[in-house]
Amino acid sequence: MIWSNVIGTGGYLPATVRSNDDLSRMVDTSDSWIYERTGIKTRRIAAPEETASSMAEIASREAIARAGIDPQSIDMIIVATGTPDRVYPSTACLLQQRLGIRNGVGFDVQAACSGAIFAVSIADQYIKTGFCKTVLVVGSEICSRIVDWNDRATCILFGDGAGAVLLTASDQPGILSTHIHSDGSYEDLLYCPNPQVAIDAQKDEPGVINMRGNEVFKVAVNTLGRIVDETLAANGLQQNAIDWLVPHQANTRIIAATAKKLGMTMDQVILTLETQGNTSSASLLLAFHEGVRDGRIQPGQTILMEAFGAGFTWGSALIKY
Ligand code: UT7
């Protein structure tokens, strides 16, 4: 049997830090409200010249260096992003160019905050079936460019960054299972219009994130609880088989509910929310990278990744590291 093994991780965060106090000078909010309701204290903001592909390149180069592989051996690049450099070419093609790779294939996945899980799931299918040997998965987002900086309900949440993971074929267990879902009937609760290609030009909506946060919150908690059950059942595992929860970083209260469902303490959760905010499809890859880099995640351990986002989309990946 062929498995997908993690051989390298990488991450990139832009230099500029925007604190809750900075935001309280922009909108009617406070550090205490934001921290208590979300767990966020600071987030990073990309410089004007940075793009999803430029950030993806830095995260990818780190993953490639940590894996110690020749970039030319990468035969598929999947970039998850809701903030692509261009409508086309895909950010994955732009990344391919930046990495100097001219073989294989690159394409983007758009599943909002669940994008990294969707991309890992696709990569795993191609590796397991023998069509690809080494796949680079990246989540890269410049959320700051699609946030309404006058909307206190959303601008406090998001940040910019990129995370990368390299997967390769092996005869040893790696990705144990992936589970991805969507239900498009929730469009109105969380969406970002594309003003260039408006569905209804009369609406004249700006291209910023619109979210009914409290309603999203409730669906997210319930749905992530179900995906935990689905993942454990598919692998015939009990809660105590999971060493680390690596969640999409949207809100510490949502993450705490998932940890509770798994019978885990917050010490078994890789949290980056406090200093990074919600970086959408980049967030769980950045968290995974942090856990690997600082040595908390050790070879042989079992990691549950999960995410929930606009669509709604949601999913999980169970990984033997
Ligand atoms: O990543 C993709 C998926 N996204 C998510 O999972 C996000 C899910 N949602 C959330 O994380 C939370 O719903 C939020 C953090 C966005 C909001 O927290 P909440 O506890 O659900 O607050 P709320 O929306 O129910 O608002 C409570 C109050 C409202 O005032 P009133 O109506 O009670 O007077 C809001 O106007 O808090 C007010 N409020 C704020 N006050 C200070 C909303 N935003 C702010 C703010 N500062 N930034």
Q: Which atom of ligand 1 is nearest to the CA of 27?
A: 48
Q: Active site includes 113?
A: yes
Backbone angles phi, psi at 136, to 5 degrees: -100, 120
- Residue type (1 letter), 60: S
Question: What is the pLDDT, as a whole number, of residue 191?
Answer: 96
For ligand 1, mutation pick of 147, 155, 216, 217 (most atoms within 8 Å of CB)? 217
DSSP one-letter code for 189: G
**Interval 165-193 mean pLDDT:** 97
Query: If 0-12 CB within 10 Å is exposed, 13-18 middle and 19+ buried, where does residue 105 land?
Result: middle
Q: Which atom of ligand 1 is nearest to the CA of 152?
A: 48
> Could you list the residue range(s) of the whole structural domain that residue 311 is in?
176-320
**Interval 227-244 mean pLDDT:** 97
Query: If 0-12 CB within 10 Å is exposed, 13-18 middle and 19+ buried, where does residue 60 land?
Result: buried
Lowest mean pLDDT among 42-46, 143-147, 195-199, 200-204: 200-204
Q: Are residues 126 and 190 in the same domain?
A: no
pLDDT band at 195 (very low <50, low <70, confident <90, very high): confident
Residue where one domain finishes, among candidates 139, 171, 203: 171
Report CA torsion sign: 181, 183, 184, 190: negative
Q: Which atom of ligand 1 is nearest to the CA of 216?
A: 8
Q: Are 269 and 210 in contact (CB under 8 A)?
A: no
Using DSSP's 3-state secondary structure scheme, residue 142 falls into: strand
Q: Are residues 36 and 160 in the same domain?
A: yes
Q: Are residues 88 and 211 in the same domain?
A: no
Residue with the bigger pLDDT between 125 and 195: it is 125
Q: Are residues 166 and 285 in the same domain?
A: no
- Residue type (1 letter), 8: G
Q: Are residues 143 and 185 in the same domain?
A: no
Look over the chain and give the mean of its residue pLDDT values, rounded to a whole number. 97
Question: What is the pLDDT, as a whole number, of residue 254?
Answer: 98
pLDDT band at 202 (very low <50, low <70, confident <90, very high): low
pLDDT tens per residue, range 148-161: 999 999 999 999 99
Report CA torsion sign: 58, 304, 117, 75: positive
Q: Are residues 220 and 139 in the same domain?
A: no
Q: Are residues 180 and 166 in the same domain?
A: no
Residue where one domain finishes, among candidates 121, 139, 171: 171
Residue where one domain finishes, among candidates 105, 140, 171: 171
pLDDT tens per residue, range 78-130: 999 999 999 999 999 999 999 999 999 999 999 999 999 999 999 999 999 99
**Cis, peptide link before residue 158, omega less than 30° from 0:** no
Give the number of other Cβ atoms within 10 Å of residue 244's Cβ: 23
Q: Are residues 244 and 259 in the same domain?
A: yes
Residue 204 has pLDDT above 80, yes or no: no
Q: What CATH number does residue 92 fall under?
A: 3.40.47.10
Question: What is the pLDDT, as a whole number, of residue 29?
Answer: 98
How remote is the CA of residue 91 from the centroid of ligand 1, in Å? 32
How remote is the CA of residue 153 from the centroid of ligand 1, in Å? 5
Residue with CA closest to ligand 1 atom 27 = 214
Residue 203 has pLDDT above 80, yes or no: no
DSSP one-letter code for 5: E
Q: Are residues 155 and 255 in the same domain?
A: no
Residue 198 has pLDDT above 80, yes or no: no
**Interval 186-201 mean pLDDT:** 86
Q: Are residues 13 and 114 in the same domain?
A: yes
Q: What domain count does the chain have?
A: 2
How remote is the CA of residue 211 from the centroid of ligand 1, in Å? 10
Q: Are residues 56 and 125 in the same domain?
A: yes
Residue 201 has pLDDT above 70, yes or no: no
Q: Are residues 233 and 313 in the same domain?
A: yes
Residue 199 has pLDDT above 80, yes or no: no
> Of the candidates 264, 300, 270, which has an alpha carbon nearest to the alpha carbon of residue 285?
270
- Residue type (1 letter), 216: V
pLDDT tens per residue, range 257-316: 999 999 999 999 999 999 999 999 999 999 999 999 999 999 999 999 999 999 999 999
Question: What is the pLDDT, as a whole number, of residue 27?
Answer: 98
